[in-house]
Structure 1
Amino acid sequence: MSAHVLIPTTSNLPAPRPAPDRSGTPTPGRPNRERGSSPHEGERLRPLSRGQVEDRRQELGDLYAEVSGGGPWAWNEARADFLRHLASDARRPGFSLLIAETTVLTGCAYGFPLIGAGPWRADFGGHVREGLLRRVAPGRLFVVSAIVVPPRVRRENQDRAWNLARRLQRRLLADDGAALGVTLVEARNDGIAETLRSWGWRSAGDGTLTAVPPGSCRVLVLTAGT
């Protein structure tokens, strides 16, 4: 078992459906406002309780499927996969889920602290160097399982503090009081690894994406406040 960052990419899901040009991409005669104040900063972030997560489970699944794109079969498969992971992680101690919304749901992210000595920690420890587990205080290592955001957030202004993915991941760690975020990415998912790096994630132990054997996982970490 491993953690999964559920970010739709061209490497594992169909390309997103075309959307109206609301992303701030420059066009002739139109300044690029994205490099100044964010036109998307009106998106509010707030946590959901476990009961609220259950109440909005179907809506969260719809969000993931919608940003994934593709036809009906791919839509249903993506939605079912997301909901399976969500149901599993929601049972973990300290589970936390944030949503982003305007008048509609626009994104979400969730995870849980790595605490205790349960089976998940034992599995996780098989991928992570002991030095990483020792360098943070118990309970201050937070596993980020999912970041679900629209395609524009993955493609544009990834280095800006107001990028929605950065806001979500930063708030998750802050709310938990975590010192370090961590996730496992399957070795074949280069697109997911590169997307995470654009949001400030780094390979554990160094600043590069090192080669890993097929079937194994990359370990990526995120410093709180990034």
Structure 2
Amino acid sequence: MNTTLVCSGGLDSVSLAQVLAAQGRLSRIVSFDYGQRHRKELDFARACATRLAVPFHLVDLSGLGAALSGSALTDDLAVPDGHYAEETMRVTVVPNRNAIMLTVAFGIAAANGDTAVAAAVHGGDHFIYPDCRPAFTDAFAAMQRAALDGYADVALEVPFVHATKADIVAAGAGAGTPFAQTWSCYKGGARHCGRCGTCVERREAFHLAGVADPTDYDDADFWQAAVAAHAAGGA
């Protein structure tokens, strides 16, 4: 099975790239410039494709950023600090982002004769992002079967959809993922901030997985207070 991978350059998608490559199934990497405020993650996606010796497709959807307004990832809005599962993190939703990207990726896969499209959505995303939930991925897979009926047979692979971030760290470590060559932070600074939701989630995941975290954070200890505050709020 030849697989097109949607890759942001983050820990999850780069880990999935390593897993697929180890299985001999990774055929290409597709990334998207959708007008996000911080595009440095795209450099990490490109580096992943170079390292794994597969074609890299960077799709220019930069005009979408202005149209899909209201997100801290596309507009000049502050990215909140704290745990990823806090209500405040909803400001990072870009409406329909995964549906748009996956649709394009399926077209690329079909055009190149690939038999699957893989995405690294995971269980920790379910609270915040509706287009990361199993109900969405199941429905999207069915829609694509209809969209390509009689032309191509392309499956949707979401192996982490019921997994935790710690599970992904463990799987990535097993496949030799160079975690230092991944980018998660939503603030786009010189280093990971250590305080935004995705940094807190990243740091917590390494801790839970029992894997050394090579990431250079501006605030490497903030995650503990954020996790404790979230736990207390949910008690």
Q: TM-score, normalised by structure 2?
A: 0.30
Higher helix share: 2
Higher strand share: 1
